[in-house]
Structure 1
Amino acid sequence: MKLCSIIVLLFIGCSSQKKIVADKVTKSGASEIVFEQLVQSSVGGYEHPQIKVFKEQKALEETFGYINSFRKPGFPIPSKIDFSKETVVAVFMGQKNTGGYAVSVQEVIELDGKVKVFIEEKSPGKKDMVTMAITQPFCVVKINTSKEIIFEKRVVK
């Protein structure tokens, strides 16, 4: 009987925890916005650093066509995006001469009516052992907003 009670409490605790994350308010009074990472890879991005914000399916499909031209099978193209409520963002770090580089979206907040996306770029240290290969790190995320987005980079070494 006690075991059943513990299991029920665990399920209730897990489901409510997701809701708290979505409604979380930061110390600065900003609201966190839910986002989902769709793709992250170190191969197949663009040669030059860039950020692409997608507000329509056709442009998203064109970018995935480019990304997938380097791999078989390719990444599935997200098709269930409601662009009236959601935005897709792709962050490309540009071409690097070695492995050990990565880019990701760490946090998305809304403050004063604007959405701020925090991008984290990781680079290998001078003494780190890395793959000797050309890489093009990138990530693609879906953000639950259709508002204007501004970006801030955080560099981690």
Structure 2
Amino acid sequence: MLTYKNGLTTTLACVLLSFAASQSALASAEDSAGEKILPVKVIVSSVNSLQYDKHLEVARSSSKYQELTSLFHNARNLTYDIDFNKYAVIGAFMGVKSTGGYNINIVKAIQKEKNNRKYIEVYVNSEIPGPNCMVTMAFTQPAELALIPAEPRTDIIFKESYEVYKCR
């Protein structure tokens, strides 16, 4: 008889856990249902930009885009026919660093919705050399421009992360 109660208790516990797990998965799917991962196309990346301050920026016009591309030595003649009613250009500038080994990347963009209002979170990662890394002894200004789909009135929020990489 004791075995029957333990078996019943175990079965009841399994049913309750399954129900709880399915409810949790359903809630998670509902939370992420309004999210959409957007493609990020890198336009230009450099460790020697002409932007000397740390700066994150969104270009929503041709003139602003040209201003951002003029900050890259390797992008002066870069021409993209961008429809700014459908796209935005993201600029990520790390500022002046006293050595090489630094890098900045526009990692991903996720469109989200809250209170029936769409917005985009753009994730930017800065890579920093660890104390044991051999680096170039020269000033650098890492930067990157990327293209993402974005409607003109969509808010763009930057999410920054920093990663110190280790060397032998």
TM-score by length of 1: 0.75
- 1:134 paired residue among 128, 133, 139: 139
- 1:148 paired residue among 144, 151, 155: 155
SS at match of 2:100: coil
1:36–1:143: 8 Å Cα contact kept in structure 2?
yes
Percent identity over paired residues:
26
**Aligned equivalents of 1:98, 1:85: Cα separation in 2:** 38
Query: What amino acid does structure 2 have at the position aligned with 1:125?
Result: G
2:3 alignment partner in structure 1: none
Between Structure 1 and Structure 2, the one with more helix by share is: 2
SS at match of 1:123: strand
1:45–1:138: 8 Å Cα contact kept in structure 2?
no
SS at match of 1:130: coil
1:86-125 correspondence runs (5 A): 86-112=87-113, 113-125=118-130
**Aligned equivalents of 1:90, 1:43: Cα separation in 2:** 14
Could you say if the C-alpha distance between residues 78 and 149 of structure 1 is closer, same or farther in structure 2, counting changes exceeding 3 Å? Answer: farther
2:119–2:157: 8 Å Cα contact kept in structure 1?
yes
1:12 alignment partner in structure 2: none
Please give the per-residue CA displacement for 1:96-153, whole angstroms capped at 9, x wherever unaligned.
0000000001111011121000000000000000000100000000001122100000
Please give the per-residue CA displacement for 1:3-48, whole angstroms capped at 9, x wherever unaligned.
xxxxxxxxxxxxxxxxxxxxxxx97512101120111110024111
Q: CA deviation at 1:78?
A: 3.5
SS at match of 1:60: helix
1:39 alignment partner in structure 2: 44
SS at match of 2:95: coil
Gaps of 5+ in 2: 1-27
TM-score by length of 2: 0.71
Task: List, as ranges, runs of 4+ consecutive aligned residues in structure 1 with deviation greater than 4 Å.
Answer: none
Between Structure 1 and Structure 2, the one with more strand by share is: 2
